[in-house]
Structure 1
Amino acid sequence: MRSHLRWGSLLVVASYLFTTLAVLVICGPQKASDPVVFITIVDQALGRGAGNVTAVCLLCFFMVAPLIYNYTFARLLLVAAIDGHLPTGLAKLNRARAPANAIYFQSAVALVFTVLSYFILPYLFPIGQPVDLSTIIVTVSLAALTLVWLISIPFLFIDVLVIARRQPALFQEHRILPYPLFWMLVLLGTFSCLLAIVDTLLNSWIPDLLTPTAW
């Protein structure tokens, strides 16, 4: 499991860096917010057949990603319910040990948000082109999700520090990293989250559609 986590994390980071670099080199920063830019890049580099395969992969991503997001974020509701910050019913697990009530509740909220964002509000408050409005809604939603995780992740490091201080014997028993590397990762991880929070709040992900002030 440790090997899978280590190599999987490195592969994900490398993939994000290489795909972002490909967009900047081939299409330029002005195309960074284009939802089909990766299909365009593959079309130009490898031909239309490979571009069609990329389009199918992207469609699969947009089908799978909501399921993963929903299941993952339900864990946050589960923890909040266990701590007493939300109704305890959200902490109930089904026979598969999954937070079923939290998943149902979150799915209902997501459904209401989707209906309001794409079917009701655009007709009540028409702003610009419908395609642009769709891109704005998706991008702002993703930025909000990113902020939720960026605020949550530092507590993983904080929890470890609390355990190391309050239960040093237990911490020493389960520690698998040298102390210098451990402290470097704690500081680097926490600082990276804080830096990403500031960057997400101050800089628009789609400057062509939303200025930093409007963002």
Structure 2
Amino acid sequence: MLVAKAICKSYHGYELLKQINLSVHTGEMVAIMGPSGAGKTTLLQLLSTLDKPDSGALTLDAIDLITLKGNALATFRNKKTGFVFQFHNLLPEFTLFENICIPGYIAALPKAEVVQKADALLSLLGISHCKNHLPEAVSGGERQRTAIARALINDPSIIFADEPTGNLDDKNAERLHALFLGLSKRFKQTFVLVTHNQSLAAIADRILLLENGILQPA
């Protein structure tokens, strides 16, 4: 599904990532761990096309991601990938429901279909009661579940999550772990997670360690 071969990335002459090789299979959950500053977020940004490697090859569902540019790249991201970040990245002027719908509207899906899917996701994630609230009016856990619903609205092939529990208390972190595990088992959703949270990593199918620019099994 997702295949990275010999991915390298340097900054100001410092080789942060060295010949990274990674294959992620459909329905698999992979957790990437490592010390602060090791390049975990950089690797996730490269795998998710938010940044470009200096060299190497990257494909998703046999699509060459290195050569995608402009509208083709934007369309790919919108339809094939979902993103969950530590600080949610919700648009503050829109309700939770509207935030979830936006990627569907960008994808030019029929409005009725987007609304139906958004309502189903709100119900699945247990946040229907606050669908018309602005992000500032709900808890951190509710904002993060909204971000997950937004990531799922276009039925992505893969979801990338960068420290998804980093801004949550223990109770909401545990709920998020259960949610990710449920999505993985029930819908065969593919995940690549960057995390420092040992409990979150423990539910993954594989844990990989990034250290000294090298990615290997933990």
Query: TM-score, with normalisation over the residues of structure 2?
Result: 0.26
Structure with the greater alpha carbon radius of gyration: 1
> Going by fraction, where is helix more abundant, 1 or 2?
1
Give the TM-score, by structure 1 length: 0.26
Which structure would you say has the larger RCO, counting Cα contacts within 8 Å and 6 or more residues apart? 2
